[in-house]
Amino acid sequence: MRSAATQLRLFADTEEPGARPGFSVRESKRAKRLAIKVFPRGRVEVVVPKRTRPADVQAFIEANREWIERSRASFARELPPEPFVLPNRIDLPAIEQSFRVRYERRSGAASVSYRNNGGVVTLRGLTGDDAQCIAALRRWLASVAKKEFLPRLQALSELTDNPFRRMHVRCQKTCWGSHSSTGTISINVCLLFLDPALLRYLMIHELCHARHMNHSRRFWQRVGRFEPDYKRLDKALGESWKSIPAWLGIY
């Protein structure tokens, strides 16, 4: 039997560039009840406990439809909808680098590849397909993040005496980072678009979970030892989704 997330995604989730953001469903082991989160550009995430019936998810969405539309309208007033346009320039404040983007269409190509040379990212192939171009840009961003994030994370690990085993880079829609019980730290590639101080804070935050796998008072005390301004940074990070370019299609 398909999970509730899989069944609802078949008709509720929209991932095409430029399409109106749709619904995504995430099953969570920790969730005790259904919950809805509306993101700044209108995407809706429904968090459900394991083994939730698809019919219950659909009924929950319908029962909260008016609230969802009010939340979308409120965000739209603050962050007006943007027309979808592939980027010609990409600024990555977290690593203080900028890149120009070129598009080279090749007849007969069935996919899009990328090459980064001298600050110019060149996409080659089926560049008339927006979705494939975005997928290629996401792959390129992931490669940049892996190269740039790992030495920073290693240096902060030594500074804070908080070990980790490995680092993964993900294009996540719901969180900036995580630290698994096996010592794997996952970092959202979207942090490339934020201020360097927010990237540093996120890394310190996740590293401190090596000592405390919770958000207890002792955890925050440890975070505060290495980043005294953590409260302001944590609030700013929570509001930073609106800084991610619309073309990336994350939310």
Q: Which residue has the higher pLDDT, 153 or 75?
A: 153
Average pLDDT, the chain: 88
Q: What are the chain's domains?
A: 4-78 (no CATH), 89-248 (3.30.2010.10)
CA angle 40, 89, 244 (to 5 degrees): 15
11: left (phi over 0), alpha (psi -120 to 50) or beta: alpha
- Quick one: what percent of the chain has pLDDT higher than 70? 90
Question: For 175-217, what is each residue's pLDDT tens digit?
Answer: 899 999 999 999 999 999 999 999 999 999 999 999 999 999 9
> In whole angstroms, what is the distance from residue 14 CA to residue 22 CA?
5
Indicate the pTM of the whole model.
Answer: 0.77
- Quick one: what percent of the chain has pLDDT higher than 90? 63
The per-residue pLDDT for 238 is: 86
pLDDT at 88 over 60: yes
Taking residues 154-168, report their average pLDDT. 97
